[in-house]
Every structure is written in C-alpha cells, then in structure tokens.
Amino acid sequence: MTIGAAENYDRSKEVKDFDDSKIGVKGLVDSGITSIPRFFVHSPESLPSNQPHISDDDDGIPIIDLSSVNSHRRSIIVDQIKEASRTWGFFQIINHDIPLDVLDRTICSIKAFNEQPTEIKSKYYTREMGKGVSFLTNIDLFQSKAASWRDTLQVRLGPTYPDLDQIPEICRNELVEWDQHVQRLGEILMGVLCEGMGLETDRLKEMTCLEGRTLASHYYPYCPEPDRTVGLSSHSDPGVLTVLLQDKIGGLFVRKNGGEDWVEVKPLAGAIVINIGDLLQIISNDEYKSAEHRVVANRFQEPRVSAAVFFNPGKREDIYGPVPELISPEKPALYKQFTLSEFLRRFFTKGLDGKSLIDYFKL
C-alpha cells in the first residue's frame, strides 16, 4: 500500500459501509476476496500465531463424566468440577443426557441459517440491543481495535422468550429444543458448583442465575488470511456460566492458569464445553475463576460453527457481589457490590478485551 493510500484510509467509514451492507463475513468470502479488509487486521503482537500454545494431551482441559451425578458418586463429580473451576475455569462434560442428535441438529440448523442468501439473512441484521433476535458481525465492531472473522445469530432466551416468529424458521425449533436441554443441564451444573463452594444446592438458582439466558451462535467461515486476524478476540465471559456446543473443526483456546500458554479445547464427539464467567468468580469470592479464551481464524474451507448459552441472573436491579456465606475475617470480600445493569453496562462499554471487566469491580 502506498503512503497516499494509507493516509486516505478512513477506518470508521469502511466499518460503517461494511455494517450497512449487512452481508457479514460470509458475504465477504462469497464475494471471492483473497485478502481481508484492513479493519479485520490485528496487530502482530496480539495474534495467536505469535504467542505460545500447548497441544500436549497431558495438559488438556479436564473431561468430566456426568453419568453418575445423581448417584452415590456425586461427591466425586462435585470435587472434579470444583477443581476444574478453580484451576482452569473450563472443562468438558460427557454423558450429560442430551441426545447426540439434538447436538447435531443444533449445529446443522445454525450452519443452514448462515448459508442462506444474504437477502434472507439481512432481514435479521441489526445492532439494536432491545431486540430478542439479532444477526450481526462482531457485537463490538465499532468499539474494538480490530474486528474478528465471524458472524453471529443472537437470541434472548430468558427471562422471557422473544416472539417465536422472530427466530428464523430454519433454526427455530432446533434452538428452542437446545435451550430446553441447556436449562436442565444448567440447573444440574449450578447445583454441583454450589455444593463445591459449601453452599446450599439451590443457592445460585435462588439468585435467579438460571433465568437470564442468551444464545450466541457463531459462524466462522474460511478466512483467506488466517494469520492476520482472529475468529474471536481474547476475553472472559461476563456472566455466571457458559454452556458451549462446538463442532469438529476446532480452534478454541483457553489461557492456562492465567499464564502465557494457550491450550486448545479439542473437539470431542458428544461433549459439551462449560466455562466459568466473571460474575461467578465474583459471587464465589474467587473460589472459582473465569478464564480468558479466544478462537483462531478458520483456515479450513469448511466453516466452524458453535452455540453458546450464557447464563445470567434474571433480575437486573438486584444487588450482586460475593455471597455472605463465603466472606469471613480470614477471607474478606474481594469485590464490591453492584446491580447487574451496572455490570453489563460496563461490559458493553469495554467490549471483548481480556479480563479487565472483573478488575473494575475489585475492592
């Protein structure tokens, strides 16, 4: 690029023109581009290819079998999930009782939505936060330093569903069915997590932590320059708990114990990925830890597809912070109290950027 061209580059205009086109990243790929637009290019030091990562199976994310969660072996599972939540903030679960065909249909329906013609998908393209359903590229497109190579269909699932006819018909039944299974799974996991902290099993449920649910289904198409951008920037999830379904393509990495190394959450057939959010780290007074994670840009011709359900409290104006049962003279509260509205405002102001959200609420 010549100096003159660099001087004439208007990033805000290019981002706005792209967003106004409503074609998404998939539309850019379909147009036949061989290089990515400049606003998708990340600084070299922030790119995964320039940072250490571990692929050794011995260092992999814990895999926990839930098949005996309601038996005499429950205490063993409680200890396993407690340890994974304290050290990794991430784990995979197997034998979770969600039928494999439900997992497959969920992924296939999201893929089908994204592979419709632009004129159909663009009807859902919006950045209005109040809408129950939205399709967009990067929720933080206008705030981030560089955009990420993915499109997202987002659906608010709780405390109240949107009108079902707002959900695209091509994936409506599948996403509603997925949510029904995830609600049941979320209640089981939160009960286990409570017991791991020495709390009553229903403590998080009583705090309405099962009620606020948002589905973010991500579609990561082939990227012609995968070493210049990312699929999803490094961040920790703001909520209580995330239940993630990923396909076989791979590319999700988690920062190991807050250090320099990144470990891939390798796809495992039939498994579901679980991770701790910032809000649960605060509620637990650091008993559990949220973890930074990211997705590399997809270098394969086949798209990567995932579906994440984020659990949040349903009551936005209630006060949250470390629960009193976990505060003592030996371990005082590490975080201040706040409303969920204040917490989420702070998140949407800062965007997807490391774990700076949790730092803001430290005492």
The answer to whether 221 touches 55, Cβ cutoff 8 Å, is: no
pTM of the model: 0.94
57 pLDDT more than 60: no
**Tokens at 346, concatenated:** 């702070």
Please count the structural domains in the chain: 1
Smallest CA-to-CA distance from 146 within 232, 44, 40 is with 40
Task: Supply the mean pLDDT for the chain.
Answer: 93
279 pLDDT more than 80: yes
Kind of pairing, strands 90-94 and 133-136?
unpaired
In our burial notation (b when 16+ CB lie closer than 10 A, e otherwise), range 233-257 reads: bbbbbbbbbbbbbbbebbbbbbbbe
For residue 293, the model assigns a pLDDT of 96
Binned at pLDDT 50, 70 and 90, residue 259 comes out as: confident
Binned at pLDDT 50, 70 and 90, residue 257 comes out as: confident
In the chain, pLDDT over 90 holds for what percent of residues? 83
Looking at the domain assignment, is residue 4 inside a domain?
A: no
Residue 30's identity, in one-letter code, is D
Tokens 């997809």 found at: 298
For residue 148, the model assigns a pLDDT of 97
For residue 122, the model assigns a pLDDT of 95
For residue 50, the model assigns a pLDDT of 80
d(CA 83, CA 220): 32
Looking at the domain assignment, is residue 2 inside a domain?
A: no
Smallest CA-to-CA distance from 90 within 264, 218, 295 is with 264
Looking at the domain assignment, is residue 223 inside a domain?
A: yes
> H or E segment at 272?
strand 272-276
In the chain, pLDDT over 70 holds for what percent of residues? 95
Output 235 or 51, whichever has higher pLDDT.
235
pLDDT tens profile 171-210: 999 999 999 999 999 999 999 999 999 999 999 999 999 9
Smallest CA-to-CA distance from 267 within 298, 244, 290 is with 244
127 pLDDT more than 60: yes
Smallest CA-to-CA distance from 144 within 12, 333, 239 is with 12
Looking at the domain assignment, is residue 334 inside a domain?
A: yes
Looking at the domain assignment, is residue 294 inside a domain?
A: yes
8 pLDDT more than 80: no
Residue 287's identity, in one-letter code, is E
pLDDT tens profile 308-337: 999 999 998 999 999 999 999 999 999 999
Looking at the domain assignment, is residue 35 inside a domain?
A: yes
pLDDT tens profile 336-362: 999 999 998 888 776 566 667 899 999
275 pLDDT more than 80: yes
Mean pLDDT in residue range 102-128: 97
Residue 313's Cβ-count burial label (10 Å; 0-12, 13-18, 19+) is buried
The answer to whether 323 touches 203, Cβ cutoff 8 Å, is: yes
The answer to whether 313 touches 320, Cβ cutoff 8 Å, is: yes
Number of C-alpha atoms within 13 angstroms, CB side, residue 362?
A: 7
Looking at the domain assignment, is residue 171 inside a domain?
A: yes
d(CA 226, CA 47): 10
**Alpha helices, DSSP H only, in the chain?**
3-7, 11-21, 24-30, 74-87, 100-114, 118-121, 172-196, 203-206, 278-283, 340-350, 356-360
Q: What is the CATH number of the domain that holds 311?
A: 2.60.120.330
Looking at the domain assignment, is residue 118 inside a domain?
A: yes
For residue 7, the model assigns a pLDDT of 60
43 pLDDT more than 70: yes
Domain span at residue 241 reads: 11-48+58-360
Binned at pLDDT 50, 70 and 90, residue 1 comes out as: very low
Lowest mean pLDDT among 30-39, 48-57, 195-204: 48-57
